[in-house]
Amino acid sequence: MEKHPITQGKAAPGGKTLKPRARIWLAGAAICLISSLAAAQVFEQREFKNPQHEQRYRHLISELRCLVCQNQNLADSNAPLAADLRTIVFDMIQNGKGDDEIREFMVDRYGEFVLYRPPFAAKNVALWAGPFVLLVIGLWLLLRQIHRRAAAPRPAPLSDAERETLQSMLGERPDKNDGARGA
Amino acid sequence: MHRYATPLGIFLLLAVLLGIGLTLNPREVPSPLIGKPVPAFRTPGLKDPGKQLSNETFRGRVTLLNVWATWCIPCRQEHPVLVGIANRGEAVLFGLNYKDDRKLAIDWLNGLGDPYAMSGFDPQGRAGIELGVYGVPETFIIDADGRIIYKQIGPMDEKTWKSTLLPRVKRLQEARR
């Protein structure tokens, strides 16, 4: 079997081998491809009654948190509890339960923490409204500052005597500094 | 001084908020079950499948429910604490064997001691889901009306038992007298 220079890994004459930079790009592309495959991983094969059910299932497991690996949703987690909860979501959909009922089932047992999309309620109003309130305050401060600057009196232009002094200072600075150091 | 007051104030506020945040354990999810009756569940007994462990089991006296499994390494660490509680008669202790193998679980109890008045057997973990279990071992304090008063997530050492759970259990027991 003829060995191709690339698989041989040695620099072959004729420039047929990959340059180091090309190898890095290839490796990067491979890593991206592998990680995107991993993200699209499906743990169980499910038979859905109709495509709407499948869509709802995918949506629900993507917005419910896995309690074991808390920064993953049910769709991405391979924890046994996540598998159990996916099965429960599937069963509830097959039994004609609505999305809200399924969310309620999870919240009743694990608290609102399971929802990646927490509902708007009195107790978390600061969380939802906070960014907008801060934005408005920031805009207000900014506008106030701009107005103040615009309203502030401009400094009077330099008088002839001041300009002369400035010129002489700028022009003669090195000498004066030397003189100061000498003294 | 005045011009530094606002940034200093914001800094102190943030420092306090972040400081509080650092002391919290994000893995401990506040259980929505606290203060509520034990959710309806029913499992066969571990040693005697003819018996049942259900939400009805907890009525009439203050009890502890410990969710455990032989595959759970912290459970082994916690087990002597549970045996101690049972030996000193500090509380009535029930177990829920979670997603486990019956034979392994019975061998575990025979080998390490059985602190439980009774253990339920939940190989599929459905009872565990009803109870909102996500990190074995978990220990519930249940009052005589069958309400969940407290939930310990993760292994309970002697210190945690003495400082956190036992006082609550004692308070509940005294309230019944």
Domain ranges of chain A: 51-119, 120-151
The sign of the torsion formed by the CA atoms of B126, B127, B130, B134 equals negative
- Taking CA atoms, what residue in B is nearest to A114? B29
Asked whether the ipTM of the predicted complex exceeds the cut of 0.85, the reply is: no
Shortest Cα–Cα distance, A132 to chain B (Å) = 18
Task: State chain B's mean pLDDT as an integer.
Answer: 92
Q: What's the pLDDT tens digit per position in B1-29?
A: 678 888 999 999 999 999 998 888 766 66
Contacts (Cβ under 8 Å, ≥6 apart) of B37: B55, B145, B146, B147, B148
What is the C-alpha to C-alpha distance for residues B115 and B175, in angstroms, rounded to an integer? 25
- pLDDT value of position A120: 80
What is the C-alpha to C-alpha distance for residues A106 and A93, in angstroms, rounded to an integer? 14
Query: Residue A4: what are its φ and ψ, rounded to 5°?
Result: -80, 140
- pLDDT value of position B158: 95
- The answer on pLDDT for B164 being more than 50 is yes
Contacts (Cβ under 8 Å, ≥6 apart) of B96: B43, B53, B65, B66, B67, B68, B119, B120, B122, B127, B128, B131, B133
Shortest Cα–Cα distance, B87 to chain A (Å) = 32
What is the C-alpha to C-alpha distance for residues B99 and B120, in angstroms, rounded to an integer? 11
CB contact (8 A) between residue B29 and residue A68: no
CB of B31 within 8 Å of a chain A CB? The answer is yes
- pLDDT value of position B139: 95
- The answer on pLDDT for A176 being more than 70 is no
Q: What's the pLDDT tens digit per position in B43-79?
A: 999 999 999 999 999 999 999 999 999 999 999 999 9
Residue with tokens 């019944």: B176
Confidence of residue A112 (pLDDT cuts 50, 70, 90): confident
User: Which one of 3.40.50.10140, 2.60.40.10, 3.40.30.10, 1.20.120.1200 gives the CATH number of domain B33-176?
Assistant: 3.40.30.10
Chain B hits for A84, CB-CB cut-off 8 Å, are 124-125, 129
> A51-119 in CATH: which number?
1.10.8.640
The listed range with the strongest mean pLDDT (A49-53, A59-63, B79-83) is: B79-83
Among B137, B134, B141, CA closest to B154: B137
CB contact (8 A) between residue A111 and residue B32: yes
Q: What's the pLDDT tens digit per position in B69-116?
A: 999 999 999 999 999 999 999 999 999 999 999 999 999 999 999 999
Confidence of residue A4 (pLDDT cuts 50, 70, 90): very low
- pLDDT value of position B45: 95
Report in angstroms the alpha-carbon separations of A81 from B46, B135, B154, B168: 21, 9, 16, 30
Mean local confidence (pLDDT), A6-34: 64
**Distance, C-alpha A61 to centroid of its chain:** 21
Whether this model's pTM surpasses 0.80: no
